[in-house]
Protein backbone atom coordinates (compact mmCIF):
# COMPACT_ATOMS: atom_id res chain seq x y z
CA UNK A 1 0.00 0.00 0.00
CA UNK A 2 1.22 3.48 -0.78
CA UNK A 3 1.91 5.70 2.18
CA UNK A 4 2.86 9.39 2.02
CA UNK A 5 5.75 8.90 4.47
CA UNK A 6 7.33 6.22 2.29
CA UNK A 7 9.32 6.61 -0.91
CA UNK A 8 7.47 6.99 -4.18
CA UNK A 9 7.23 3.87 -6.31
CA UNK A 10 10.18 3.08 -8.59
CA UNK A 11 7.77 2.07 -11.34
CA UNK A 12 4.08 1.56 -12.03
CA UNK A 13 1.74 0.40 -14.79
CA UNK A 14 -0.49 2.86 -16.64
CA UNK A 15 -2.73 1.82 -19.55
CA UNK A 16 -0.51 -1.21 -20.16
CA UNK A 17 2.69 0.84 -20.14
CA UNK A 18 5.50 0.40 -17.64
CA UNK A 19 6.35 3.85 -16.28
CA UNK A 20 9.73 4.17 -14.57
CA UNK A 21 10.23 6.73 -11.78
CA UNK A 22 13.71 8.17 -11.41
CA UNK A 23 15.08 10.50 -8.76
CA UNK A 24 17.47 13.04 -10.27
CA UNK A 25 19.74 15.44 -8.45
CA UNK A 26 19.31 19.08 -9.55
CA UNK A 27 16.51 18.29 -12.03
CA UNK A 28 16.09 20.84 -14.82
CA UNK A 29 13.66 21.15 -17.73
CA UNK A 30 14.63 21.46 -21.40
CA UNK A 31 15.32 25.18 -20.86
CA UNK A 32 17.68 24.60 -17.94
CA UNK A 33 15.15 25.78 -15.36
CA UNK A 34 15.11 23.91 -12.03
CA UNK A 35 11.92 21.89 -11.59
CA UNK A 36 10.52 19.48 -9.01
CA UNK A 37 9.42 16.91 -11.58
CA UNK A 38 9.01 16.05 -15.23
CA UNK A 39 6.81 13.64 -17.17
CA UNK A 40 8.49 12.14 -20.24
CA UNK A 41 5.75 10.63 -22.43
CA UNK A 42 8.14 9.40 -25.11
CA UNK A 43 10.47 7.73 -22.62
CA UNK A 44 7.62 6.56 -20.33
CA UNK A 45 9.44 8.00 -17.35
CA UNK A 46 8.64 10.30 -14.45
CA UNK A 47 11.56 12.27 -13.04
CA UNK A 48 11.49 13.61 -9.47
CA UNK A 49 14.11 15.93 -7.99
CA UNK A 50 16.06 13.87 -5.46
CA UNK A 51 16.24 16.69 -2.90
CA UNK A 52 12.47 16.86 -2.29
CA UNK A 53 11.14 15.90 1.12
CA UNK A 54 8.29 13.47 1.66
CA UNK A 55 5.20 15.65 1.13
CA UNK A 56 6.68 17.61 -1.77
CA UNK A 57 8.06 14.40 -3.31
CA UNK A 58 4.61 12.76 -3.20
CA UNK A 59 2.71 15.79 -4.47
CA UNK A 60 5.23 16.11 -7.30
CA UNK A 61 4.87 12.40 -8.08
CA UNK A 62 1.06 12.79 -8.22
CA UNK A 63 1.42 15.88 -10.42
CA UNK A 64 3.62 14.06 -12.92
CA UNK A 65 1.32 11.01 -12.90
CA UNK A 66 -1.61 13.27 -13.85
CA UNK A 67 0.50 14.58 -16.75
CA UNK A 68 1.19 10.98 -17.82
CA UNK A 69 -2.50 10.01 -17.64
CA UNK A 70 -3.59 12.96 -19.77
CA UNK A 71 -0.70 12.58 -22.20
CA UNK A 72 -1.23 8.86 -22.74
CA UNK A 73 -4.96 9.44 -23.27
CA UNK A 74 -4.15 12.07 -25.90
CA UNK A 75 -5.65 14.96 -23.94
CA UNK A 76 -3.03 17.47 -25.05
CA UNK A 77 -4.83 20.52 -23.66
CA UNK A 78 -5.15 18.92 -20.22
CA UNK A 79 -1.58 17.60 -20.43
CA UNK A 80 -0.34 21.18 -20.86
CA UNK A 81 -2.67 22.72 -18.25
CA UNK A 82 -0.55 23.15 -15.11
CA UNK A 83 -3.38 24.54 -12.94
CA UNK A 84 -5.70 21.61 -13.73
CA UNK A 85 -2.84 19.14 -13.28
CA UNK A 86 -1.92 20.54 -9.87
CA UNK A 87 -5.53 20.55 -8.66
CA UNK A 88 -6.05 16.90 -9.64
CA UNK A 89 -2.63 15.98 -8.19
CA UNK A 90 -3.57 17.52 -4.84
CA UNK A 91 -6.80 15.51 -4.84
CA UNK A 92 -4.91 12.27 -5.60
CA UNK A 93 -2.37 13.04 -2.88
CA UNK A 94 -5.20 13.62 -0.40
CA UNK A 95 -6.62 10.20 -1.28
CA UNK A 96 -3.23 8.54 -0.72
CA UNK A 97 -2.65 10.41 2.52
CA UNK A 98 -6.06 9.72 4.07
CA UNK A 99 -6.79 6.21 2.75
CA UNK A 100 -7.62 3.66 5.44
CA UNK A 101 -7.87 -0.13 5.29
Q: Which residues does the chain have with pLDDT short of 70?
A: 1-5
What's the confidence (pLDDT) of residue 5? 64
8 Å CB contact between 24 and 47: yes
For position 3, what pLDDT does the model report?
A: 66
Q: Which of 2, 1, 5, 3 is nearest to 54 (CA)?
A: 5
How long is the chain? 101
Residue 84's Cα: distance from chain center in Å? 14
Q: What is the pTM of this model?
A: 0.92
Query: Helix, strand or coil for residue 18?
Result: strand
How much is the pLDDT for 100? 87
Task: Look at residue 2 in the predicted model and tell me its pLDDT.
Answer: 63
Amino acid sequence: MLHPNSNCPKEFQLFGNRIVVKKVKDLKDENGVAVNGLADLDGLCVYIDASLRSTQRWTTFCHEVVHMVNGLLGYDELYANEIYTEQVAQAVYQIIKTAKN
